[in-house]
Amino acid sequence: MKKLGACLVLLAMTTVSSGCASLNSVQRAEYQSMKATGVAIEEKQPVLGAALGILPGGGSFYTRQWGLGVADVLLWPMSIAWDPIAGYQGSEAINYDVSRAHAKQVKQREMRDLEQQLESNSITQVEFNSKRRAIDERFDF
């Protein structure tokens, strides 16, 4: 009985220390804006992450939550209650992070191109300012 209690405490600590990935309301709104501007990337499929959560640790391993995945394997079949959710939310969190990095690169590239146009006198300072403002607004997440 002591061993079972110690195992459960160890599993609980592993689960808590590994954390769960999910988006807060601000991040969710930012991700929706990224989708609307066409810079969002879907590296992981949330529905697939949820489906894999039925398998022992599948959703967590799919979303690179290794500690939670190990705990899920050890607690399977009880982990079916939470691992599909972890797989779905973890997929969303990965997609958000990848999309945010991609948006930053796209903005930098567009700004660099715009600055080159100004330097080559292809556009005026007024046009530059206007286009720069439009780029800033497009990537204001």
Instruction: Identify the band that residue 1 occupies on the pLDDT scale cut at 50, 70 and 90.
Output: low
- Is the residue at 106 inside a domain? no
- Is the residue at 15 inside a domain? yes
- Is the residue at 114 inside a domain? no
- Is the residue at 86 inside a domain? yes
- Is the residue at 116 inside a domain? no
pLDDT tens digits, 55-102: 999 999 999 999 999 999 999 999 999 999 999 999 999 999 999 999
- Is the residue at 31 inside a domain? yes
State the alpha helices, DSSP H only, in the chain.
2-18, 25-37, 46-52, 58-62, 66-75, 83-119, 125-138
Tell me how many domains the chain contains.
1
Instruction: Identify the band that residue 15 occupies on the pLDDT scale cut at 50, 70 and 90.
Output: very low
- Is the residue at 19 inside a domain? yes
pLDDT tens digits, 71-84: 999 999 999 999 99
pTM of the predicted structure, to 2 decimals? 0.77
Q: Domain range spanning residue 83?
A: 2-99
64-89 per-residue burial string, b: 16 or more CB within 10 A, e: under 16? ebeebbbbbbbbeeebbebbbebbbb
- Is the residue at 65 inside a domain? yes
